[in-house]
Structure 1
Amino acid sequence: MLGQVIDWKLAGTVARGVANLQPSGNPEPFEQLAAPAVEAERLVSAYTGLVAAQPVPVAEAVERPGWIDANLASLQTVLTPATERLNGKLGPLGVVAGGVMAIEAGAISGFLAGRVLGQYEFPVLEPDRPARLLFVTPNLAQAAESLEADADQLLRWVALHEMTHALQFGGVPWLREHLAGMLRELLGGLQINPASMLRVPDLTDLRAMLERVREDGLATVMIGADKRETLDRVQAFMAVLEGYAEHVMDAVGADVLDDLPALRSALSRRRRDRSGLLKILERLIGMDLKLKQYELGKQFCDGVVARAGIDGLNRVWLAPETMPTWAELSDPAGWLARTERVEPAF
């Protein structure tokens, strides 16, 4: 079966092994999620005006294996169309190539499984499939310990962030299909060369690849220069999603959390304090781009709200056309000028 080019069972085994190498904490203090989730939905909806058309997913406490299963299931829906393009190209080398890709997918998922605190999770290429609201309790416990944060305060703060995503996708009807469409466009330009997958690169190949990764990130190496505009749109879209959630968790948290500045400072340090090896790994898998999305997206959202309030920022949800471009993320005033004739929907 072409959808089985990647050995997903092997990927899961690798992911669990990598996840187990990372420190974790006692999940028990973070397993009662009903009250923080209800509070977060009420507060985020009151501040933003976002209301889900259907009930938001029930908050689930999961450990790392549960998150890995969910992540790999979503990843499979994304990568299966790409692997189907290999039909007839791999021949007897398919098993080897599938093993290599499984190890790569598993290693990345395992690394992330040791770091993610919460996630609004859904199959991105299947917009009609139900979503889940996951909280990875061993990671929350380890973060609380390393950040010297109160467990209840940290959980409520993270819940604000993840509930914002739940209300974004649950309250903006075009959002999931728009994201799926952009990703389908990107995957259509994915460059897969079966021969190069199994060939040991020479020094010139490595230097060229590392230079491209250093300048533009791994995504541009895999997608190709002709899809750079689409990649920029996806990254700008993700920056708005993350920046909006970052803005909301601070704006709302300021009124209900005892020491928000300390939490924000500690979380920023956690995101940036990595060993040299982890920094390299994060660069290779694109986590550095995610950090930029958090930072640039939050700066954009904070800048818009400072000028036009949350109603002004909510113009991003009116239509795909009102989403800021990558350049506009650094120019909130210019984006507001471009969208000033559009009435806020919330």
Structure 2
Amino acid sequence: MTDLQRADRGTTSEPAGGGATAGASANAGADATAGAGYVDWDFAASAGRRLAPPGPKAGRAQIERLVAELRDATERAVEPVAHTSGLRAPEEAPTPLVVDRGGWIEANTASLRGMLGPVLDHVVTRRKDNQPSETAQRFGGRMTGTEVAGMLAWMSTKVLGQYDLAPEGTPRLLLVAPNILAVERDLGVDPADFRLWVCLHEETHRVQFTAVPWLRQHIVDAARELGTELVPESDQMSQRLQEIVTALPGVLRGESDITQVLATPEQRERLAEVTAVMSLLEGHADVIMDDVGPSVIPSVATIRARFQERRKGSGGVDRILRRLLGMDAKMAQYRDGAVFVRSVTDQVGRDGFNRVWESPETLPRAAEIADPAAWVRRVHG
């Protein structure tokens, strides 16, 4: 038996870190920017790899079958998703990449580096008269890199698939093989059906970001703008820290969301608009995967029921980490977004729903996610 986290590195269509290589290469010049020293990204990637728990045990032959089946499932998902969604990825869109947990960590470190670079540059510009010494900055960058590594190592065990936006690199769909194997074992579902079901969801994300050419940059810009707004001014830092310390117990008890702690009322409004778009994307992917399911996945109803139960069943420590990282809110996005997509489609049909992809102005607003009829009235008249 062998550790899947390491063993599938030689069986992917590229090295397991291939998805990260493009992003890291494109970010090679990022170290010259003003905010580069705030996070030691190279250390974050290497430490995250070391910290990531081992994947499930599997023999070499089983690993090779898993990777081959995931590649095949990504191809089989293309036509059903295109037919059901009315969207199709262009021919030049990069093919999905099967990765291990370390490969996912490298890709996401590169993406965070690209996403946060302009935000950190803005921080440096605002505080140019109050900069730490080079030694202090180097130590701080290593400490922050350690925190990033810990976060990514934990998340690398949770993610089944992800469309990596790669702000300064090559965007690409990633499938995390060890986690797919672990979850299908945990749920006791048919492996072939489950792998295709996951690929239907992730192919929908690939279609969203490649068939709608403006969407990726729109989300990157919105995230960067919001990140810049969330950084407090120097004279507000002590007050904000006190507010966070005071409110944190409520977050841990599930009484409030982490964003309620980190953001001002005005920032929460902006965050709500970004969250509305993410709810749309996740809900749309869930709807498509389930609508396709019955025709190509015999056990889709069983998979969905067991998967939903698993989402509810987090243990104590796991639940605390989910709250601190805002992942409880992520679960709500799947639910709320799916309700929005189904409601709008019931009212105006698939083509009427697809007007949502016309421009940033036709994306749902925060209030419209909970009131789909309001979106229909605004967009369709």
Please indicate the TM-score interval, normalised by the length of the shorter structure: 0.7 to 0.9
Residues 59-96 of structure 1, C-alpha deviations (whole Å, 9 max, x = no match): 21111111100011001112222322443434133233
1:29 corresponding residue in structure 2? 65
Runs of 4+ in 1 over 6 A off after TM superposition: 193-199
2:95 partner amino acid: V
Superposed CA RMSD in Å reads 2.6
2:267 corresponding residue in structure 1? 227
Deviates more, 1:90-99 or 1:245-254: 90-99
- Give the SS at the match of 2:174: strand
- Give the SS at the match of 1:189: helix
Specify which of 97, 103, 114 is matched with residue 77 of structure 1: 114
- Give the SS at the match of 1:20: coil
Going from structure 1 to structure 2, the CA distance change for 1:205 and 1:332 (only over 3 Å counts) comes to: closer
Going from structure 1 to structure 2, the CA distance change for 1:309 and 1:300 (only over 3 Å counts) comes to: same
Residues 171-206 of structure 1, C-alpha deviations (whole Å, 9 max, x = no match): 11221121122112212213256799899x77x762
Q: How does 1:274-313 map onto structure 2 within 5 Å?
A: 274-313=314-353
Residues 223-247 of structure 1, C-alpha deviations (whole Å, 9 max, x = no match): 4433222211110000000000000
Q: How does 1:324-335 map onto structure 2 within 5 Å?
A: 324-335=364-375
Specify which of 138, 144, 156 is matched with residue 196 of structure 2: 156
1:54 CA drift (Å) = 4.1
1:91 corresponding residue in structure 2? 132
Distance (whole Å) between structure 2 residues aligned to residue 328 and residue 163 of structure 1: 26
Going from structure 1 to structure 2, the CA distance change for 1:237 and 1:76 (only over 3 Å counts) comes to: same
Deviates more, 1:99-108 or 1:77-86: 77-86
- Give the SS at the match of 2:162: strand
Specify which of 180, 199, 203 is matched with residue 220 of structure 2: 180
1:344 corresponding residue in structure 2? none
Distance (whole Å) between structure 2 residues aligned to residue 30 and residue 145 of structure 1: 13
Going from structure 1 to structure 2, the CA distance change for 1:172 and 1:246 (only over 3 Å counts) comes to: same
Residues 152-187 of structure 1, C-alpha deviations (whole Å, 9 max, x = no match): 111111111111111111111221121122112212
> Percent identity among equivalent residues?
34
Going from structure 1 to structure 2, the CA distance change for 1:6 and 1:301 (only over 3 Å counts) comes to: same
1:41 corresponding residue in structure 2? 78
- Give the SS at the match of 1:274: coil
Deviates more, 1:174-183 or 1:235-244: 174-183
Distance (whole Å) between structure 1 residues aligned to residue 249 and residue 231 of structure 2: 17
Q: Given the alignment of the two structures, is residue 265 of structure 1 paired with residue 308 of structure 2, yes or no?
A: no
2:295 corresponding residue in structure 1? 255
Specify which of 135, 146, 171 is matched with residue 103 of structure 1: 146
Q: Determine if contact 1:304/1:313 at 8 Å carries over to the other structure.
A: yes
2:138 partner amino acid: V
Going from structure 1 to structure 2, the CA distance change for 1:64 and 1:146 (only over 3 Å counts) comes to: same
2:184 corresponding residue in structure 1? 144
Distance (whole Å) between structure 1 residues aligned to residue 263 and residue 47 of structure 2: 25
